[in-house]
Every structure is written in structure tokens, then in C-alpha cells.
Amino acid sequence: MQRIAKVPRRKRKKKRKEIWLFLDEFNTSPDIGWFNELICNHSLDGVALPDGIKIIAACNPYRERRLNQKEKDWFGGDSLAKYVYRVSPLCEGVKLHLWQFGSLPSSDERQYISEMVKERKNALNPSVQEFFEKELITITDQLCISQEFLRQKLHDAAVVSLRDVERCLTFFIWISNHFYKQIAVSKQIQYSLA
């Protein structure tokens, strides 16, 4: 039997793992300078972050509220109260990296809402799922109508978001499951009394 010579393994380059850090609504924090260093300088307290750490961040827009005189008096000296979101001013370095995404077109928003509704079906009690399946389009329609209603009535395109849809669906699932339990208990009592 011939001996197979051991072939030295080439040193494998270790693939560096990337860690993506998402900072949401970072300008709602008063520590905006710290975020500036993190985002723009890729460092923290003067210490460089490893190359494998990637940072992406989102900030809330600076949009002033339409306040009547009573509200202006109420908020008084609160300098952040004049904004729709309580935001701190961005550092100049961060402003260089801003990208305005705007809002979703109605057709895209509808598609997202439809998918969100479909995904929530499994959170329902199995006996309610069949009814839910039949009403998917109606539920999606009503959520889209409510989003548009709020935008029009409040004269603000950004007043609602998909987070509101998620909250509504969470409540809808809870109330549906709770209602189903009540019906099941009621039927159980009726059968036991019969």
C-alpha cells in the first residue's frame, strides 16, 4: 500500500464576519455627538471600531407642528415641542450622509399591508383562521382606507406608518382570539347545562 503524502493545507483566510448595527431614530437622543462619532468617524470614545462593524442609522425628520396660540402657550419654553418628533439637531458631519427616502407609494404600502395581514393568520385560533382567510382582502382594504383617511384628515402624509398597521393587527388578533375563547366557554357551559 502506498502512503499518501500529506499535502499541507493552505492557510485559509478567515472570512471576517460583518456585524451590521442599525440605529433607529438616533436623533431622538440628546447624545447626538456620540452618534456623530459612531456614524461619521467609525469610532467610540476615540477608539476605532473594527472594520467588520457596519453602521446604518435612521433619523426622524425635522417637521414643525402647526400649533395654535393655546398650544404655543402650553409648550412654552420646550424648544423641541415645536417639532412633530422630539428630535435633536444633527451635527454637520451627519448631515453629509443623509438620504431622504420619502414615503411609500400607495401600491407598495398596500402590498406591505397585505403581506402583514397574511402573516398574522397563524397567530389566530385555528377555528378563526378560515374566516380570516376569507376576509383577507377586506381587512387589507380597511387598513389601507384608514391610513389614507388619517393622512387626509390630519393633512400630513407621514402621520401614519406601517407600525400603526402592526399595532392594529396585534389588537385585531388579540380581540379575535379573546372573542373566540368567550364563545367557546359559553358553548361549553350551554352543553354542560343541557
Checking if the pLDDT of 93 tops 60, the result is: yes
The partner residues of 64 in beta bridges, in order of sequence, read 83
Cα separation of 13 and 26, whole Å?
A: 36
* CB contact at 8 A, 128 and 172: no
Q: pLDDT tens digits for 38-62?
A: 888 999 999 999 999 999 998 888 7
Q: pLDDT tens digits for 154-164?
A: 777 777 888 89
With vertex at residue 26, the alpha carbon angle to CA 22 and CA 30, rounded to the nearest 5 degrees, is: 150
- Which residue, among 23, 30, 20, has the nearest Cα to 91 in the 3D structure? 30
Cα separation of 173 and 123, whole Å?
A: 7
Checking if the pLDDT of 11 tops 60, the result is: no
Domain ranges of the chain: 19-95, 106-193
Cα separation of 42 and 91, whole Å?
A: 15
Q: pLDDT tens digits for 113-158?
A: 999 999 998 898 888 888 888 999 999 999 999 999 988 887 777 7
Amino acid in position 141: D
